Structure 1
Amino acid sequence: MEAAPNPPDWQDTRHGSKIRVAAWLATVVGEGNSFTREQLHEAFQGVTHIERRMRDLRDSGWEIETYRGGAHGTEMRLIKIGEPVWSPSYRRVSRPFVASQQRHQVLARDEYRCTDCGLGAGERDPSAPAGAAALEVHFVVPLSAGGSADITNMVTLCASCNAGRRGSPVTDPEAVSLEVSRLTFQERMILLAWMAKGERTTSPVERAWVMYRHLSPEQRQLMRQKLSETVERAVTDSMAD
């Protein structure tokens, strides 16, 4: 079997950003070593969606573990170097992708929310580069591991949760216990139900909010006005009683 070629110069802009970030990880970071989000963006200044290109490597067997909220910001570790995406023979392989129709089906099925943390697109996410959540469609079983390209093998995740799916994001159990201790009894019952089901279920008000966010600006304004009038009328009626 012919050996895979060495990684190219990651600074060579003739290569695509996916190949460049793979070469940077392989030659600069090195398998088993850590790096930060800031170092990644500093290396690829002006390159858009560089984190997404890095996450794309997971479908080629690359494993990158994410540690959020560390002393140096979001830290990551290159667990395993996967397939040589820079190899010409690799690039000739036709790989399945998420078609637009499939993406819309998955997003609609998951109610346009991250199935891990529950965030909707555009909602505040301090761990995201722009501070707002961006939704992506994730393969539960990677295609490189024989996973199906059918929507039954797809799930909606925000970019932050998707970044941590390849490894085991480090979470302090004591911090989780502290948060749980602050919950009311009713909130603990809800959390327990989520744990039992293995996913966060949404309430009617959350589903209404998601649907509202997909209205046009004009429709949103009309909806707010209508709801405001309904609430004001209800308050007035209750005071009259």
Structure 2
Amino acid sequence: MGEVFTKGELREAFPDTSQIDRRMRDLRDRGWRISTNREDPTLTSSEHRFVEMGAEVWKPGQSKAKTPAASLTAIQRREIFEADDYLCRVCGIAAGEVYEGSVETAQLDVARREVLKPGVATTTEMVTECRRCRVGGRAGRADLTSILGELEQMSQIERNHFSQWLEADRRDFSMMERLWGLYRTLPSDSRRAVREAVSPV
């Protein structure tokens, strides 16, 4: 995966196959991720990148198309954005915000996400992602079964605390958690000074 190719190379590899553009669209509709320079700025206008394989279309029963995000109506896309609070559900950035350490602004889109649910096979749901997370494939498959299982192991106090985060759709870090994050960024000598400061006298 990650190989770069051109349509000309595809035509040379499959000389008996007509309408190469349509064939690639068909693969995308079946879960294949093939990037162009719109999703991957490192590509030229004639290049494509093979990112992820979808359904094994050469097998019986695997050629049925998934519902592509591109086929959603404007109303359906707006409903998904509203449900996700107009935020990328991977990194949390909003449309138009500048990525940290760059001048690039975020663009939001609707992407497919595989979700493993209790008692059923993996399903596909729509979710809001920014272009950077979508191209990078950072989300992967969501394991709802595992999350619900871990919730069952929580105490009632932990569940109540977690519920507050869910209600606000954000996590407020305690002073200790913030200090831990800052400590982890320090050079070795500075980390040693922190350890000495908290060591028992």
TM-score norm. by structure 1 comes to: 0.34
TM-score normalised over the length of structure 2: 0.39
> Larger relative contact order (C-alpha < 8 A, sep ≥ 6)?
1
